[in-house]
Structure 1
Amino acid sequence: MISLFLKKRRLKSPYRLPVLNTLLLPNGPARAGLFEEDGINEFNVAMSATESAYSNDLVLGFDPLVENGLNEEGMITVVLPFVKTAREGVQRLGKLIAQYGTGETNGVLFADDNEAWYFESGAGHYWVAQRIPDDAYAVAGNQLAIQEVDFNDSRNFLYHQGIQEFVEQHHLNPQPTGFNFRQIFGTADRSDAIYSTPRVWSGHQMFSARQATNETPESQSLPFIMKPDQLISVFDVQDYLGSHYQGTPYDPIGTGDMHDRHRYRPISLAKTQESHILQMNRPHGNDIHWLAMGVTAESSFVPFFADINETAAAYRRGKLPAQPNSAYWIFKHAGVLVDSDIHNLLPLLEDVQKNVNQAAIKFIEEMDQAKLNLDSNWEYYITKQNTAFAQQILRKYQQLTAELITKLTDNSPLNFNTDENL
């Protein structure tokens, strides 16, 4: 999983609609229960809990992970309904982990109208959180990311009250001064260099190319907080979440050396189940959860307004085996067909993606205007309109699938040049 956190692009999705949080694991067995990933409560506090990371063995030796602790899939449920601000979300999650422990190392995003925070657990019970500055962004890629912690700056840092004593008692800080959370609690091995840091490097190259000229894909000291070269749009974020090192030697479907093409783990993978962009602080509070089902590079982000009270039925299905009436499998079907002849068929998919983006912007503009003019029944109206739009996008992908199947018939090994009259 990759997380890109933008201040003033506040994260938001409708917590009232748990389906948006549970349909994201279509290959999860039903008996496993809900695997919630992101949401928003009635106080417009947003939370996204999808970022798995790793702690080093030294730290875990002194504070092991807790087998039955609070893990990623349960964090939304026990935090989001109980907080009124992003800061309260950080504090509640931190308190729960300090008390009950966690069985995983995780990064969690929080935001409201005023602040955006990134929270990281670094061991069984210890954690820190940093506020993202108003003019900055942060990228985290399955690796602890927060660096220097200023314990005297309560506006920008929150933390487990015993973390300094814990580190001092067990001599965990490799530096004589400062408190670099990533260095003390995280990992910096070969797997990080090929799995995590290249994706962070990619984000910096995309959004801060003028500043990141000396960065390399395998650097273990990439900065957590970055300022973009220019304002970052929702479509910029979509491009990043769907990227696979295009324009570099590391693109798996590029023209580089075979070794380079498979050197680093790309952001968009064949096994990706979903990507979400949670866009907040929009006009009239008309916030949006953009959801891409399946492989991000071969899917489209569909906007769901936060005020809807029901989600289109197709977006609530995602079990195995593949279901033809499931949004996940409809997007996945088109992508699998493209994969069979990607260089020739990808342009067809890209045309659909562009069409969807343009339609989404038009739809959002219409709904923003509608909210201004509707005095009542807004939730009923936006739910009906959003459901229709989401279904419209599925029809576009079903039409693409039909076109792809038709074209792929010519690729069959059973083809033979015969008299066309026979």
Structure 2
Amino acid sequence: MGCTTILVGRDASYDGSPIVARNEDSANGEWNPKRIVVVSPADQPRSYTSVLAHLTIDLPDDPLRYTAAPNAIPDEGVWGEAGINAANVAMSATETLTTNERVLGADPFVEYQAASGTPGEAGYLAAVAGGIGEEDFLTLVLPYIRTAREGVLRLGALLEEYGTYESNGVAFSDADEIWWLETVGGHHWIARRVPDDQYVTMPNQLGIDSFDVDDALGEGAEYLASPDLREFIADNHLDLSLGGQPGMVNPREAFGSHSDSDHVYNSPRAWSMQRALNPHAEDWDGPTARYTPASDDIPWGRVPERKVTLEDIKYVLSLHYQGTRYDPYSALGTEAERHLLRPIGINRHSELSILQIRPYRPEASRALQWVAFASNPFNTLVPLYTNVDRTPDY
């Protein structure tokens, strides 16, 4: 389920708000209808059972009210995706990521195993629940946190206890900061605070490109991680850097994928977003361009050339390679080039949520969830206040 995420630090945004935005895309060949709802504390479950993994988790008895973008047809579970709670903390879950075989060999996914055989007969094997995933994350975390950092720590603890059956990236924000968490194997995770003066571009691949393990396992000022991350890396020979700064690791090299498909499905989207927001910083299109659609080292975060607006965010999350030979709607390239790369703006967007926490507003009106449904090149955003008891009927 391919999505695209952009995170904008408070000093990089037009009004000083930390902003989290993500396209939720349906699976290839499908379109998944969504709703926008407010979940009251009375409606939040105290015992939660996932549909896909058949996992039951008891939840605290003091949830906050929160918004969510669940599936309109709940046959595969909630899939809450994006929301803001009554404490003005936002969560976007998830950006599906990619990893590599070495990581999964060291820490496999926790996948649901259906029952086999007949109960009471020899050879019968009972069903085994799977871990947590995109279906569950928002419901399990957002109602119980009061800061972005608390969101990282709560989700991290759940991953360590129950594991996950997929690779995901999750964003948390409050009025002061944004944190980005990436799962690493079945039970491990890393998280990095988004620099206030930068924006971050995230297609469907593990994105963090520099990680301070010493800080993550020590003070935790800018980085957080599973408590055994250092041993996990060392015991499984995951650090692929040649030399480098002690205590630092490149997560893309250690935990990320290194596949040819990334160069047509993932990295071109990061290239496209940064080309739009930093048009003069690079020679993006020439024969000696430092970064191309196939580059594996496109920066995770970058300082923009000017402050980023909501209009910019909507534009980059609707991109289809305008002005290049890869645009499927233009006649610039050959037929093959126009269909070579996966655009950001596609026909199977389910919904886009832009989560904006405005520090200059009173707490009662501080948070906005901007929403658009269906294909982003052809829709528009609607702003919704989140400190409300219900969303509009229409």
Does the TM-score normalized on the shorter chain lie above 0.5?
yes
Counterpart check, 1:188 vs 2:258: yes
Partner of 2:8: 6
- Which residue of structure 2 aligns with residue 162 of structure 1? 228
Task: Work out the CA distance in 2 between the residues paired with 1:260 and 1:140.
Answer: 23
Change (3 A) 1:43 1:12: farther
Structure-1 separation of matches of 2:172 and 2:242:
32
**Distance verdict in 2 for CA 1:20–1:45, change over 3 Å:** closer
Partner in structure 2 of residue 221 of structure 1: 297
2:103 alignment partner AA: V
Q: Taking structure 1 as reference, are residues 20 and 297 closer, same or farther at Cα in structure 2, changes over 3 Å only?
A: farther
CA contact (8 A) 2:240 2:254 kept: yes
Q: Is the 8 A contact 1:70 1:100 kept in 2?
A: yes
**Unmatched tracts of structure 1, length 5 or more:** 315-422
3-state SS of 2:75 partner: helix
Where does residue 13 of structure 2 map in the other structure?
A: none
2:320, 2:67 → 1: CA distance?
26
Q: What residue is the counterpart of 1:297 in the other structure?
A: 377
Cα distance in 1 for partners of 2:149, 2:213 equals 16
Letter in 2 for 1:243: L
1:282 Cα deviation after fit: 5.2
Is the Cα–Cα contact under 8 Å of residues 139 and 224 in structure 1 kept in the other structure? yes
1:171 is the counterpart of 2:247: no
Query: Residues 212, 188 of structure 1: CA spacing in aligned structure 2 closer, same or farther, 3 A cutoff?
Result: farther
Counterpart contact for 1:119–1:128, Cα < 8 Å: yes
Question: Matches of 2:262 and 2:149 in 1, distance apart?
Answer: 30
| Residue pairs, 1:142-161, within 5 angstroms | 142-153=204-215, 154-161=220-227
Distance 2:298 2:69 in 1: 33
Q: How does 1:269-280 map to 2 (within 5 A)?
A: 269-280=346-357
Contact 1:12 1:306 in 2 (8 A): no
Deviation at 1:17, TM superposition (A): 4.5
Closer, same or farther in 2 for the Cα pair 1:37/1:297, shift >3 Å?
same
CA offsets 1:97-147 (integer angstroms, 9 cap, x no match): 011101110000001111111110021011110101111110000000011
Give the counterpart letter for 1:181 in structure 2. P
Which residue is equivalent to 1:206? Answer: 276
Number of residue pairs the alignment of both structures matches:
311
Q: Does 1:306 align with 2:386?
A: yes
When normalised by structure 2's length, the TM-score is 0.75
> CA–CA distance in 2 between the matches of 1:309 and 1:157?
35
Matched, 1:125 2:133: no
- Please give the secondary structure, in 1, of the residue aligned with 2:253: helix
- How do 1:8-407 and structure 2 match up within 5 A? 8=10, 9-11=17-19, 16-17=38-39, 21-23=68-70, 25-26=71-72, 29-67=73-111, 68-153=130-215, 154-177=220-243, 178-213=248-283, 214-255=290-331, 256-281=333-358, 283-285=360-362, 286=365, 287-314=367-394
Alpha-carbon deviation of 1:73? Answer: 1.8
Map Cα deviations across residues 341-389 of structure 1 (whole Å, 9 max, x no partner).
xxxxxxxxxxxxxxxxxxxxxxxxxxxxxxxxxxxxxxxxxxxxxxxxx
AA in 1 matched with 2:341 = Y
Matched-pair contact (CA < 8 Å) for 2:6–2:20: no
Normalised TM-score (structure 1):
0.70
1:294 & 1:40 partners in 2: Cα distance?
Answer: 21
RMSD: 1.9
Q: Which residue of 2 aligns with 1:398?
A: none
* Aligned residues of 1:60 and 1:123 also touching (Cα < 8 A): yes
Is residue 15–residue 40 contact of structure 1 (8 Å, CA) maintained in 2?
no
CA positional deviation for 1:195: 0.3
**Larger fraction in helix:** 1
CA contact under 8 A between 2:176 and 2:359: conserved in structure 1? no
Instruction: Give the match's secondary structure for 1:190.
Output: coil
C-alpha displacement of 1:272: 1.2
Maintained 8 Å contact 2:18/2:357: yes
**Helix, strand or coil at the partner of 1:203:** helix
Q: Is the 8 A contact 1:12 1:40 kept in 2?
A: no
> Offset of 1:12 from its aligned partner?
7.4
1:222 maps to a residue whose letter is: I
Give the deviation of 1:293 after TM superposition. 0.4
Q: Hey, what's the Cα distance between the residues in 1 that align with 2:346 and 2:311?
A: 19
CA, structure 1 residues 120+4, in 2 after alignment: closer, same or farther (shift >3 Å)? Answer: same
